[in-house]
Amino acid sequence: MSSRAFAPLEAGAFDATEKTGIARDTSVRVAPPPGTRRHWTESAGTARTRRLGLRFVALFYLLALLGAPVAMIFYRTFEHGLAPAWDAVTQPNAVHAFWLSIELVAIVVPLNTAAGIGIALLMERGRMRGRSLLGLIVDLPFAISPVVVGLSLLLVYGRTGWFGNWLTAHSIQVIFSVPGMVLATAFVSLPFVARETIPVLHELGTDSEQAAATLGASSWQTFWRVTLPAIRWGVVYGVVLTTARALGEFGAVSIVSGRIEGQTQTLPLYVQDRFENFDTTGAYAAAVVLALLAFATLATMSLLAKRTSRDTLV
């Protein structure tokens, strides 16, 4: 999941068709030695079939896995027209869930962006020991099931947990309220920025940072004016993934939030709640809102990517 993968995704696909196109042309143009002609044509034909077959399989897989279900959600939502869907998403609880999800994203994404860049810098530029251990810790949220994350937060911050007494004494409520949900969301979405930024930092190398130092820049100036602009695409891609994960998180948040309607219900929890209460229109409509938020995130990034690549030709 390299950060580079995002912007050049289309370019990569284009390259592949170009190459195969050239390969096909050559196989036709190069005169084969006499007697081998049939073999040559056949192999070109086989390659073509294989390529088409691969395309078909890839498209079918995407369609079955992603396209059809998402399309069905949209279809079911607007089955009876726009009005019922609109009514469903403007329910006070739905609106509250929407804003709560946005609030979580607004808190968690900046936190994890800063933390992720910091971790990436430590791992790529730092000289401390135990960097590989840090790498393992950063990957933990990928490995641990969100439900386990939720439970472990409960064990630490819950009423009977380690800090439970202290928190109660200072009347700070973590579990069943926003702070706990922030913790849970931050935990599960921690690795993205760091993991996307580390390879870009590695590839960037230290030359330009050292150049900045010899030109009199402080570390702070070097970071803001040289390092950050150079790694921005890794960071942006990480931010998009973090946002998507934070928006969609269900398991961990489900446990620490207590799922109190109109109070600690995020959009995914709201979808589940509506579904369990046989309010399919409400569930589908809220799901569409989630999907649209995700699309908007992706679209914002592609727009940014396009504009900047035209500006700097990097």
Residue ranges in contact with another protein by CB under 8 A: 207-208, 210-218, 221, 225-226, 229-230, 312-314
CB 219, min distance to another protein, A: 9
Residue 146: Cβ within 10 Å count: 20
For residue 181, which amino acid is it?
M
Between residues 201 and 269, which has the closer beta carbon with respect to another protein?
Answer: 201
- State how far the alpha carbon of 71 is from the alpha carbons of 57, 76, 89, 285, 291, in Å: 19, 9, 18, 13, 11
CB 230, min distance to another protein, A: 6
Between residues 117 and 212, which has the closer beta carbon with respect to another protein?
Answer: 212
CB 224, min distance to another protein, A: 10
Between residues 31 and 313, which has the closer beta carbon with respect to another protein?
Answer: 313
Between residues 121 and 213, which has the closer beta carbon with respect to another protein?
Answer: 213
- State how far the alpha carbon of 262 is from the alpha carbons of 47, 288, 289, in Å: 58, 19, 17
Query: Residue written as tokens 């070109």?
Result: 44
d(C-alpha 308, C-alpha 314), whole Å = 9
- State how far the alpha carbon of 33 is from the alpha carbons of 25, 28, 36, 38, 48, in Å: 17, 13, 6, 11, 22
d(C-alpha 21, C-alpha 16), whole Å = 8
CB 301, min distance to another protein, A: 18
d(C-alpha 110, C-alpha 108), whole Å = 6
Non-local (6+) Cβ contacts of 313 within 8 A are: none
Between residues 20 and 206, which has the closer beta carbon with respect to another protein?
Answer: 206
CB 309, min distance to another protein, A: 11
Query: Residue written as tokens 């309220």?
Result: 177
Collapsed DSSP state (helix, strand, coil) of residue 32:
coil
CB 116, min distance to another protein, A: 20
Between residues 122 and 230, which has the closer beta carbon with respect to another protein?
Answer: 230
For residue 204, which amino acid is it?
L
CB 124, min distance to another protein, A: 17
Between residues 39 and 131, which has the closer beta carbon with respect to another protein?
Answer: 131
